[in-house]
């Protein structure tokens, strides 16, 4: 075959994924059709666009060699093809809670860890008064500093296990559902979450909480000015929380927003804009709308270059 050399080389690879696969369309489409689902291996090609199948055969001899090269993500089981994470979950779902918890720890499944710790704690103390949301929130609030904010991550780690184990999976939403007790906000740069008692004045450097289309695009540009090209999930995670919420609620994902700016952003590997689709975003140029509204030389702060003054921080609330 014309691509025999490429196929021979790829046979030796067993860790390809959405961002480094020579078949990004195939990978994304296979993620789509196997989402929480196992498909008949003999019929999988009928579920994929023709170009996705053609892309696979340009690089691999057959499906087994493709699956072997992408074994961290896909696998065959009993004549079906599914996602590795779903297969692993099937194997562990009937195990004791303690074994499920260990599995979740090993896989870095943080939300699952919280859910299992809560289940185990409830199993141990089914009549615990802290199972009432209001009681838990009031008990947690007692551990907040009296007159300043603290990193949310640090605060959670310092809480007694009898409290933190009872937190629901979406613990941020839980805290934000009690505005009379807590203020949760991003401080100085995205994802740097702080928490403080309700009623205290917010510190300088709090990141704005609401965004319109142009301000979200400005955030995307700032991130991509540091790393010109990023995986879509990484890019999304580096946006401020308010910007992420706006993208999800209004555009159902970054794809639909950035597709409005085809001259400024290139999306490689995106097919249908599904929110869970993985693709690569590259900044080509700053949208003309932003030229007059932002300093194009400003770069997004990261963990290694936190500004020393909130007034110099392009993320802070205005």
Residue 204 lies in a domain: no
- Do both 100 and 168 map to the same domain? no
Residue 111: what pLDDT? Answer: 82
Domain coverage including residue 255: 213-312
Residue 208 lies in a domain: no
Q: What is the pLDDT of residues 224-277, one digit of tens each?
A: 998 889 999 999 999 999 999 999 999 988 999 999 999 999 998 765 666 667
Residue 170: what pLDDT? Answer: 84
- Do both 249 and 232 map to the same domain? yes
Closest CA to 23 of 283, 278, 291: 278
- Do both 167 and 222 map to the same domain? no
Residue 33 lies in a domain: yes
- Do both 135 and 121 map to the same domain? no
Give the C-alpha separation, 314 to 318, whole Å: 10
- Do both 234 and 256 map to the same domain? yes
Q: What strands, in cross-sheet order, belong to the sheet with 229-231?
A: 229-231, 280-283, 265-268
What are the phi and psi torsion angles at 52 (to 5°)? -65, -40
- Do both 139 and 115 map to the same domain? no
Residue 212 CB-density burial (10 A; 0-12 exposed, 13-18 middle, 19+ buried): exposed
- Do both 233 and 272 map to the same domain? yes
Beta bridge partners of 316: 207
- Do both 219 and 288 map to the same domain? yes
Residue 158 lies in a domain: yes
Q: What is the pLDDT of residues 227-237, one digit of tens each?
A: 889 999 999 99
Sign of CA dihedral 69, 75, 80, 86: negative
Look at residue 313 and give its three-state secondary structure: coil
The CATH number covering residue 175 comes to 1.10.10
Residue 317 lies in a domain: no
Give the C-alpha separation, 183 to 175, whole Å: 8
- Do both 121 and 157 map to the same domain? no
Closest CA to 239 of 267, 207, 277, 270: 207
Q: What is the pLDDT of residues 173-226, one digit of tens each?
A: 999 999 999 999 999 988 899 999 999 999 988 988 889 999 999 999 999 998
DSSP state of 73: T
Residue 156: what pLDDT? Answer: 93
Residue 1: what pLDDT? Answer: 40
- Do both 217 and 308 map to the same domain? yes
- Match 């996705």 to its residue by tokens: 52
pLDDT at 291 over 90: no
Distances (CA, A) of 109 to 57, 100, 104: 34, 11, 5
Q: Residues with Cβ < 8 Å from 55, sequence gap 6 or more?
A: 22, 23, 25, 26
Residue 205 lies in a domain: no
Q: What is the pTM of this model?
A: 0.60
**Total of domains in the chain:** 4
- Do both 233 and 305 map to the same domain? yes
- Do both 223 and 304 map to the same domain? yes
């Amino acid at each position: 075959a014309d691509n025999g050399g490429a196929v021979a080389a790829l046979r030796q690879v067993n860790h390809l994924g959405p961002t480094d696969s020579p078949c990004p369309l195939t990978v994304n489409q296979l993620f789509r059709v196997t989402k929480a689902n196992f498909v008949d291996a003999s019929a999988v090609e009928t579920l994929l666009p023709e170009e996705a199948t053609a892309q696979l055969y340009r690089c691999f001899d057959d499906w087994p060699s493709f699956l072997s090269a992408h074994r961290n993500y896909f696998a065959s089981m009993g004549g079906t093809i599914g996602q590795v994470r779903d297969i692993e979950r099937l194997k562990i779902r009937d195990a004791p809670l303690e074994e499920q918890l260990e599995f979740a720890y090993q896989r870095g499944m943080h939300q699952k860890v919280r859910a299992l710790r809560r289940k185990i704690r409830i199993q141990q103390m089914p009549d615990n008064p802290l199972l009432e949301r209001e009681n838990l929130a009031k008990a947690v609030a007692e551990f907040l500093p009296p007159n300043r904010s603290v990193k949310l991550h640090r605060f959670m780690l310092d809480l007694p296990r009898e409290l933190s184990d009872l937190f629901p999976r979406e613990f941020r939403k839980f805290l934000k559902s009690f505005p009379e007790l807590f203020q949760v906000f991003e401080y100085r740069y995205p994802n740097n979450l702080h928490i403080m008692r309700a009623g205290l004045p917010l510190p300088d450097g709090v990141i704005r909480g609401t965004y319109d289309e142009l301000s979200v695009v400005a955030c995307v540009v700032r991130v991509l000015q540091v790393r010109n090209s990023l995986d879509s999930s990484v890019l999304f995670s580096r946006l401020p929380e308010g910007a992420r919420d706006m993208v999800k609620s209004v555009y159902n994902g970054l794809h639909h927003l950035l597709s409005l700016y085809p001259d400024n952003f290139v999306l490689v590997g995106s097919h249908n804009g599904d929110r869970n689709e993985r693709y690569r975003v590259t900044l080509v140029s700053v949208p003309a709308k932003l030229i007059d509204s932002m300093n194009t030389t400003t770069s997004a702060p990261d963990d290694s270059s936190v500004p020393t003054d909130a007034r110099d921080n392009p993320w802070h609330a205005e």
